[in-house]
Chains A and B, each alone.
Chain A
Amino acid sequence: MKRVQFEHSPIPYLFVAPQIIIILVFFIWPAAQAVYQSFLLEDAWGLSSQFVWFKNYVDTIGSSSWLQAAGFTIIFSTLVTFLSLSIALLLAVKANEVIHGASTYKTLLMWAYAIAPPVAGLMGNLMFSPLIGDLYKFMNFIGFDFDHKLDPFDAGFVVVLISVWKQVSVNFIFFLSGLQGIPKSVNEAAVMDCRSPTRRFWTITFPLLAPTTFFLMVINITYAFFETFGIIDTTTRGAPGGATNTLVFKVFQDGFRGADIGGSSAQSVVLMLMVLALTVIQFRFIERKIHY
């Protein structure tokens, strides 16, 4: 068998080089540094260091505060992903059906899209302030004994609410454009066979939206894991009693506040592996069921 040989030109490599360099400098190199640091006990100033194998992993990941943060991160991420996707989907389907004033609805629903997580957190913090917060007063007015400074459940409610609120409009935009990409004729044909709009939604629209939903799920899990840092940092900072501490916030606290570089690196490596595993699972088991 004769193999065809092409002339190799350096030009394609030249074109991908900027991207490769960016990935190397901003991802691969720091990630490798974190892995390296996670095996060291090094003083913060870098004046002395010793190789300690897995001591950092055993010390930090075995600690009760890490386990608590891991537990909360899983519950929090599940809730934020599920709620922000389902609320956004509901709003997108309803907004898509509106005929009069549709653009007003859509604009209003997209409004919060550009708000950065720390800003959302600051606004939420003001609204839930025990001294001046309207939402805090409202929750107590309608009969809840609401005190997110002391009650872990209430504190969890506050951070989930703010995180979901901030993310709904992002998801809304994607769902809406996904819905608009579904040909009208498909739905019209389905009307012939099935009169129930709910049933039509689950059998026709939802499967056709699956690629969008899958994409958003990956994005939202990453959001809940990492980007909500800004919300936690500006609201509860892990309180009360560490009940709203997330893994990424703990990495920050130990490394950037407490100057424990080895321990914080070990935690970030574990976090990296968790998200990697999650992404692999998503692509292997869920993406198979999706038809583009």
Chain B
Amino acid sequence: MKLITLLAAGLAGTAGAASAQTEIHWWHAMSGHLGEVVEEIAARYNDSQDEYTLIPTYKGGYEDTMTAGIAAFRAGEQPNLIQIFDAGAATIINAPGATIPVADLMAEHGDGFDPTDYIEGVRYFYADSDGKMIGMPFNSSTPLLYYNKDALAEAGFDAPPSTWEEFEEMAPAIKEAGYEALAQSHSPWIFAENFHSRHNIQMATENNGYDSTDVEILYNNPDLKMHWTKVKEWLDNGWYGFYGREWGDNQDAFVQKKAAMWLGSSGSFGGLQASADFEFGAAYLPYWTSITEEPYGTFIGGAALFTLSGKSDEENAGVADFLDFLTSPDMQYYWHKETGYVPITSAAYELAKSDGYYETTPDAEIGILQLTQPGGEWTKGYRLGYYVQIREVMYKEFDNIFSGQSSVDEAFEAIESESNDLLERFNATYQ
């Protein structure tokens, strides 16, 4: 509490500057190259019109940005627009009155809002149970398999595995060639959440949590446990490299040619191009043919932009104007090309195609193709409260599986019971 109050006091000083144009404050979590692209988008927007001034501010990682936004909101000094990540979506969407749904905002101030303009994979994730869009998808990514072409060639393969069964057949030869076959960043995201989407398996009761906060998690299921039993085997066989829970440490293992393949985000594409000194390719996230004959599309990851309430109509109109600009095909194409995040509208995707972008860089299309693979009942997304903590529980128990401290059964029982305790708390808080 002490820090929240201090933080809010500090923010009060920065948010009040006045100018002739209406200022729109946008807090985001994009650092490095991504942050530069955000600055560039803001600069282009400010040049494109003279009614509003958009001021983007970097607030740290996803969690830091959300915490800063919460502290500011409690102090009445909130920004107009804030970037909130997938795991935090329930925290803002379930607090009625914290945010103005983007569908309402655009209907009131913009040219209206048509969800069918957006590609299928991103249409529902930040929507409510009726399909009304609450947050505007911004940086949307999806898990992909990256592979070192030289390493696979050394092991005698010219293509990456498309299923986990194929992976198991290839792994011994890759190990023989002197590589760990696979490393991965963010196991809860790829080996839990997207595992369910990829195989069209229900993740939580109440329509994956969209219909109610009174929900129970269904992670303790035989398919996911089978997968983790296999992952533990891969680790013990030396096919799977584990470099801790940090995203970058596992990506580094791939960049430094310790691991021949790496599961990361479609948004990692630009970063890999800059850091890897070998030829690599991107491929779809593998699936188990023992669970499903044909794979289903994955969830989007990343974050969305939420309009915080309590601002003047004039400023809200500015936010709507900016979101219009941001979702224009030109800007989406620019964002897609610079970062590797997927374009969120069909029009932007068509523009990228007609511009010949995927002919020169076919790997850049893999993410969006995967998102538009056939959807099933359980591929829309999930809405679970205190999901940040639930991911912590998963990280913890996955460690225990790897170290052998817990069996797969024990670990998933712990995940189930601790997650349900957290969901029960969330439900009691946000009723």
The answer to whether A258 touches B245 (Cβ under 8 A) is no
Rounded to whole Å, the gap between the CB of A11 and the closest CB of chain B is 31
* Least CB separation from B390: chain A residue: A258
The answer to whether B421 touches A44 (Cβ under 8 A) is no
Task: Say yes or no for B402: interface residue by CB 8 A criterion.
Answer: yes
**Contacts A149-B243, A257-B67; is A30 near B1 (CB within 8 Å)?**
yes
Task: Say yes or no for A197: interface residue by CB 8 A criterion.
Answer: no
CB contacts (< 8 Å) of A238 on chain B: these are 392, 396
Whole-angstrom CA separation of A285 from B392 in the bound complex: 40
Task: Say yes or no for A176: interface residue by CB 8 A criterion.
Answer: no
Whole-angstrom CA separation of A63 from B422 in the bound complex: 10
CB contacts (< 8 Å) of B256 on chain A: these are 131
Task: Say yes or no for B315: interface residue by CB 8 A criterion.
Answer: no
For chain A residues 211-255, which have a beta carbon within 8 Å of chain B? 237-242, 253-254
The answer to whether B418 touches A65 (Cβ under 8 A) is yes
Task: Say yes or no for B96: interface residue by CB 8 A criterion.
Answer: yes
CB contacts (< 8 Å) of B244 on chain A: these are 130, 149, 239
The answer to whether B5 touches A30 (Cβ under 8 A) is yes
Task: Say yes or no for B37: interface residue by CB 8 A criterion.
Answer: no
Q: Which one of B135-143, B277-285, B371-379, B423-431 is at the interface?
A: B423-431
Whole-angstrom CA separation of A242 from B406 in the bound complex: 13
CB contacts (< 8 Å) of A239 on chain B: these are 244-245, 395-396, 399
**Contacts A46-B74, A149-B242, A258-B389; is A34 near B2 (CB within 8 Å)?**
yes
The answer to whether A65 touches B396 (Cβ under 8 A) is yes
Task: Say yes or no for A260: interface residue by CB 8 A criterion.
Answer: yes
The answer to whether A241 touches B405 (Cβ under 8 A) is yes
The answer to whether B1 touches A33 (Cβ under 8 A) is yes
Whole-angstrom CA separation of A33 from B73 in the bound complex: 17
* Least CB separation from B67: chain A residue: A256
CB contacts (< 8 Å) of A262 on chain B: these are 429
Task: Say yes or no for A134: interface residue by CB 8 A criterion.
Answer: no
**Contacts A34-B2, A131-B243; is A259 near B399 (CB within 8 Å)?**
no
**Contacts A41-B429, A65-B396, A241-B397; is A150 near B95 (CB within 8 Å)?**
no
Rounded to whole Å, the gap between the CB of A280 and the closest CB of chain B is 22
Rounded to whole Å, the gap between the CB of B363 and the closest CB of chain A is 25
The answer to whether A150 touches B425 (Cβ under 8 A) is no
**Contacts A43-B429, A45-B98, A263-B425; is A150 near B73 (CB within 8 Å)?**
no
Please list 22 pairs of residues, one from A and one from B, whose beta carbons are closer than 8 Å in the complex, sorted by A's number: A30-B1, A30-B2, A34-B2, A45-B95, A45-B97, A47-B96, A63-B421, A130-B244, A131-B243, A152-B405, A239-B396, A239-B399, A240-B402, A240-B403, A253-B389, A257-B67, A259-B91, A259-B386, A259-B388, A260-B386, A260-B389, A263-B425
3 residue pairs, one from A and one from B, having the closest CB atoms? A30-B2, A240-B399, A241-B399
